[in-house]
Structure 1
Amino acid sequence: MATLAIHNHETPLDLVARNLKSERPSQRCGALREIGRMGQKISRREMDTTVVPMLSDSDSAVQEHALLALSQLGEKSHGFAQLVASKLETRSKQVKRAAMVALGSMGPIAVGHAGSIQAMLNDRDLDLVVDACNALGKMQATQAAGDVAAKLTSSDSDVVFAACMSLSAMDSHIQDVGKLLKNSDARIRSAAVNALKGMSGSESYSSDVVSLLGDKDSYVRLGAADFTCRLGAKATDMVVPIGKFLSDSNPGVVAAAAASLGGIGEAAASQIPALEQALRNSGEDSSTLPLTVAGISPKLVSLLRKPACAAANALANMGSAGTTSAPRLVECLNSKDWELRVAGLHALSKMGSSSARYEYHIVDLLRDEIPPVAAAACLAIGEIAAATGEANSSTARAVAELLEHPHPTVRARAVQSLSKMGDEAHAHIETFVSLFGDRAWNVQAEAIRAVAKCGELGQMFAPDVCRMTYQGLTPAVQVAACEGLARMGTRGASFREEVQQLEDDGEQVVRDAARKALEFFDRADSAAALKDRVPALTEEPLEEE
């Protein structure tokens, strides 16, 4: 099919658009779903010839899918707000719902149509009420905040949940939302605490939220922990009350408390002894497992399920006071639980030079049969090298052996680790360049960064880095290539024209990276600033899927 497209000069969109002319509505709907997946790669002209005509299709299901496709096309859809709003007058419930989704995706630019959506807050169909709340929140239609707040008293938890999130987006009626922290319905308590996280003045509810760390419902606890972590040092007064939960019999409560203390950071150093005790807690919160098995929600990361993992992460965030716990964290490396080994390695990696004396323990885990453990060991070794400014040749060779590991995350972490070893990295620069052709995008991105860090030697490979601006497997690789060229000074700037072409790329992150690189080409003396602001776009979860 790819060969046929080349000979006929057809793009993937052309092939999909054929089905828009099908007599079967299901095929037209399928084509619109595919166009939606293409997202912002679709041009305005292509929208006019594909999606927009389908808004007037004779079949309501096709209209629905056209609206949903429009909602995924970004700012190019903004000019169609009036047309989309007219679909709110249709009799089809699904078309109305899709129209609200599309208007919501346009954000504040579509707020002029908030009145039509606001009228649906009193509809008898609660699905429409939920969608109206969601859309008004995304549009930041503060003029409708009062009517949305009235829905907080609804007997339907879905409506209350949507109203909470809507008011959070508007940053309005915080007192009404705060009252729901003590609601008898766990789902509503969860909605309230998650809504408060992004609202101004939410710290005034910290004492009420902290009490929810001991809630029987796991999702309420997780919301409370996230709330506290976002407050950070502002939650210092709550350190002692949080610490009391570390001795709870429920492992989920202990994990939530430890995670909260980790978010507060150095100000919670008084709880280090209790956190060290939590390192020995082998329990696990399995309350969310049924939803994970059913495919309803993803598996929670280990630090939200296991007290020991949460404690390890918290100790690493305690600053210099936490480094005294390094010997306790090293003990975690011998655990039979691979997730705890990973947590221990990550914690040690954050302690920099204080972990250097335990490097030989970490090197042993480079050969661990569990890929996330080997990957975490690579990261820890690299961070130690960066913190001490020294790299052991034998350790570097052990890490380099993992450049051919079958798991992509291990390869990526091995590259990242070597890139932090100064001159030791230079010996592997040709291998880094060969990894530009790796089948995994995260390996490609880390290899590009590693080459860019090799100074003048790395600049010799600027043409290869430039090639990755258009041959990278994903937008994240293209972003890494733009950043790499910016780091290469005048060598990188010689590829200005190639980078300029990316300003018209279909992906926003690529366009932003290209513009940023061009700015640094203009201010070559400030190129080091980009190095300090590299977005974490190539991080891959270290836990097995």
Structure 2
Amino acid sequence: MGPDAMKDAASAQALLDHQDLDRVVDACTALGKMKATQAADDVAAKLKSPDADVVFAACMSLSEMDCQAQAVGALLKHSNARIRAAAVNSLKCMSGCETFSSDVVSLLKDQDSYVRLGAADFACRLGGKASNLVGSIGKFLEDPEPGVVAAAAAALGGIGEAAASQSPALEQALRNEAEDADTLPLTVAGIAPKLQALLRKPACAAATALANLGSAGAASAPRLVECLNSKDWEVRVAALHALSRMPAACARYEYHVVDLLRDEVPPVAAAACLAVGEVAAATTGNSSTARAVAELLEHPHPTVRARAVQSLGKMGDEAHAHIETFVSLFGDRAWNVQAEAIRAVAKCGELGQMFAPDVCRMTYQGIRPEVQVAACEALARMGTRGSSFREEVQQLEEDPEQVVRDAARRALKLFDRADSALTDKVPALTEEPLEPDE
């Protein structure tokens, strides 16, 4: 119920001194969700509890209320790693958290993986505001512990272009293919999900960070291309994703990326598709590259098929030769392939508009709401031909899924605009931004 339950906050507050500590934990959690700031002092008193679960709940509750930041900040040096992690993860969402940035930076070298990751996320949330800490964070890139290097690189990537001075050190970190295995036991036991590669492997974190450094990171493209030869498939994927974000610099190495379209590891092949698609969007489509990508439209892995369609959709006229294949993929068994095929057809201009009836059918035949939204978005981009299916889209205003209803309503507004003046630049119906070539 959140703040709507504020009238009952006193009942929850009364349980903060209950003998059953599980009930105290629940009371802290409830008060935080209610944003019952009048109880902040009583919740803050629980930060001194000898029970770690109670302290954890109190930290999160105060974070929800955005109160008592100083009391929470005092726990950054607590002897219990779980409480340090709770403190740093609570502070990153609170007003004035930048005043604790110097204390948080030191936690990038913490012995506990989750404390390090919390500190890295703290720096990422600060972004450019943490530019004065770049030098201090950069020193950790030479640490012998891979977890420390990965956390430092992730933090620098979150700071962005303000961390451009650390690009040489990040290039060195690309050669560090060690892995932080501290969280592996929890993953094997099924207690915690496996962390992303950029949070475990320095090379992956460094590649991601370089992609965030703007022109300074683009200058490191040759070093990222070297990573494409790594025996570690996660490093290859990270390098490809980084290169896809610097397409102008990547264009001269396109043949290296094309070689990985045939990689036996599906995530690598999918990342290679994305990279060559971005290069094509930034330059001009290459017919030989398009043929290599088209071969993956029948790949057994759905993510590879989806990325292949997405890549071809970015290749302009090269996509037109495959439009009938795109339409056939409307019946693919994977929803992400269906959605990407619909988007690709919409990008084919007047040729794609000829398949507006097929796209319209996907507004109610899509196997997932994401497919229905993609179909609405595609019809809105098809001008007057798309608006001819107004009645079908109107029926989606009663769809049980909120995202589908919203997409339909926004499409109808765009149909009204298309009826009066056809436009080539139609806003996306989802939160996902339009592709650069649109």
Distance apart, 1:492 and its partner CA:
2.1
Native 8 Å contact 1:416 1:450 kept in 2:
yes
Native 8 Å contact 1:137 1:170 kept in 2:
yes
Native 8 Å contact 1:520 1:527 kept in 2:
no
Matches within 5 A, 1:59-458: 106-388=1-283, 390-458=284-352
Distance apart, 1:306 and its partner CA:
0.5
1: CA distance, partners of 2:413 / 2:65: 34
Change in 2 beyond 3 A, CA 1:310/1:211 = same
Q: Aligned to 1:531, what secondary structure does the other structure show?
A: coil
Q: CA offsets per residue over residues 283-313 of structure 1, 9 Å max, x none?
A: 1000000000000111111111000111111
The residue number in structure 1 matching 2:436 is none
Aligned to 2:432, which of 535, 539, 543? 535
Native 8 Å contact 2:228 2:239 kept in 1:
yes
2: CA distance, partners of 1:460 / 1:112: 58
1: CA distance, partners of 2:298 / 2:110: 46
The residue number in structure 2 matching 1:513 is 407
Q: Aligned to 1:287, what secondary structure does the other structure show?
A: coil
Q: CA offsets per residue over residues 360-413 of structure 1, 9 Å max, x none?
A: 00000000000000000000000111111x011010010000000000000000
The residue number in structure 2 matching 1:503 is 397
Percent of aligned pairs with the same amino acid: 79
Output the TM-score relative to the length of structure 1.
0.76
Number of residue pairs matched by the alignment: 430
Distance apart, 1:466 and its partner CA:
1.9
Change in 2 beyond 3 A, CA 1:153/1:519 = farther
Change in 2 beyond 3 A, CA 1:276/1:201 = same
2: CA distance, partners of 1:183 / 1:159: 14
Change in 2 beyond 3 A, CA 1:166/1:339 = same
Output the TM-score relative to the length of structure 2.
0.95
Structure 1 window deviating more from structure 2 (200-209 vs 496-505): it is: 496-505
Distance apart, 1:266 and its partner CA:
1.0
Distance apart, 1:520 and its partner CA:
2.4
Structure 1 window deviating more from structure 2 (161-170 vs 356-365): it is: 161-170
Amino acid at match of 2:29: N
Pairwise CA RMSD of aligned residues? 1.6
2: CA distance, partners of 1:477 / 1:245: 44
Aligned to 1:478, which of 358, 361, 372? 372
The residue number in structure 2 matching 1:460 is 354
Structure 1 window deviating more from structure 2 (167-176 vs 251-260): it is: 167-176
Native 8 Å contact 1:316 1:351 kept in 2:
yes
Structure 1 window deviating more from structure 2 (487-496 vs 371-380): it is: 487-496
Amino acid at match of 2:114: Y
Native 8 Å contact 2:127 2:159 kept in 1:
yes
The residue number in structure 1 matching 2:387 is 493
Structure 2 residue ranges without an equivalent (≥5): 434-438
2: CA distance, partners of 1:407 / 1:507: 28
Amino acid at match of 2:432: P
2: CA distance, partners of 1:167 / 1:412: 43
Distance apart, 1:416 and its partner CA:
0.6
Q: CA offsets per residue over residues 198-245 of structure 1, 9 Å max, x none?
A: 111111111111111000000000011111111111110000000000
2: CA distance, partners of 1:294 / 1:150: 34
Amino acid at match of 1:451: V
Amino acid at match of 2:164: A
Distance apart, 1:169 and its partner CA:
1.5
Amino acid at match of 2:250: S
Change in 2 beyond 3 A, CA 1:138/1:356 = same
Distance apart, 1:165 and its partner CA:
1.3
